[in-house]
A and B are shown apart, each in its own frame.
Chain A
Amino acid sequence: MDPMFIKPFIASIQNVFSTMMQLQVTVKEPFLKKDDNPNHDVSGIIGMSGDVQGSVVLAFPQKTAENVVALFAGSPMQLGTPDFADAVGELVNMVSGGAKAMFKDKKVAISCPSVIIGGNHHVARQSDLPCVVIPCATDCGDLYIEVMIKPSPVSTTAKTGATAAQPAKA
């Protein structure tokens, strides 16, 4: 995958976490996801369409998700509640929105986020798309960004309100 699709996500997660939570993010070496590993407990998913297509997952172990959500929302939230999912969805929304603004000369729209909560799940991906996993370390615990995007076969003009994912929140 073109590094121009990876670097914006690294810059964006560092900006979002430091601005909203004063939380420093240390990025480790990205790698290609093979099989279903790593699995996760909480995943926020957002679709991208327009000049690039695919999806982005912000994925957490349970403890990290609880710590991050508490910091972001200002108070602890119970795992699995709609408010918990809302907070995770908003984080992936901000990380993806910030990253797409850094894609040079590309018009990209993002969908409303979906959130999956369930122990040790994996998010299936399109077979024709490589998935780059960006491991991140924070004082709240480790988390991952999974980027599965590619340039569109035919460059299109992004429309407001992508439809790559359903606008429902788990």
Chain B
Amino acid sequence: MRILLVDDSKTMRNIQKAVLAQLGHTEVLEACDGQDALSKAPAFRPDLMLVDWNMPNMDGLTFVKAWRTTNKTTPIIMVTTEAEKSRVIEAIKAGVNNYVVKPFTPDLLSQRIQETLAKCGQSAAA
């Protein structure tokens, strides 16, 4: 399974990569902002994307809206510090399938990944 990890923090990408590795997912491509993700995603054809919200150059919400104009099905989990209910609703309306608020435990992130893949009809197996 190919997973695109979009976060401007390398530390946060490493933390999420460690959780993905525990779940058996090692085919992970990293992007440092929305623009970077938009340039990498078409060729990589991810089966799942984990996307931060607040990033320089292009934020995660703008990226999700842009991606959804051409791809309606890729499961997307927003992983962000934006915890307000209004923000969650905004993200869901933009096309996000699930939502994780930072800080998170490895168990919570694992659980959200597995439930998102199940909901979107994909196997959680690597």
Contact = CB atoms under 8 A, between A and B. Distances in A.
Q: Is the interface of A mostly helix, strand, loop or mixed?
A: helix
B83 A98 contact: yes
Q: Is the interface of B mostly helix, strand, loop or mixed?
A: loop
A112 B8 contact: yes
A82 B9 CA distance: 10
Interface string B1-29: 00000001111101100100000000000
Interface residues of A, number: 28
B102 interface: yes
A97 interface: yes
A160 B59 contact: yes
Which among A15, A96, A98, A168 has the highest number of chain B CB atoms within 10 Å?
A: A98
Given A16-B103, A93-B54, A97-B83, A161 B10 contact: no
Interface of B: 8-12, 14-15, 18, 53-57, 59, 61, 80-84, 86, 102-105
30 contacts: A16-B103, A19-B104, A19-B105, A72-B11, A73-B14, A74-B14, A74-B15, A86-B10, A87-B9, A87-B11, A89-B9, A90-B9, A90-B11, A93-B54, A94-B81, A97-B54, A97-B81, A98-B81, A98-B103, A100-B84, A101-B82, A101-B84, A107-B84, A110-B54, A110-B81, A160-B53, A160-B59, A160-B61, A161-B59, A167-B57
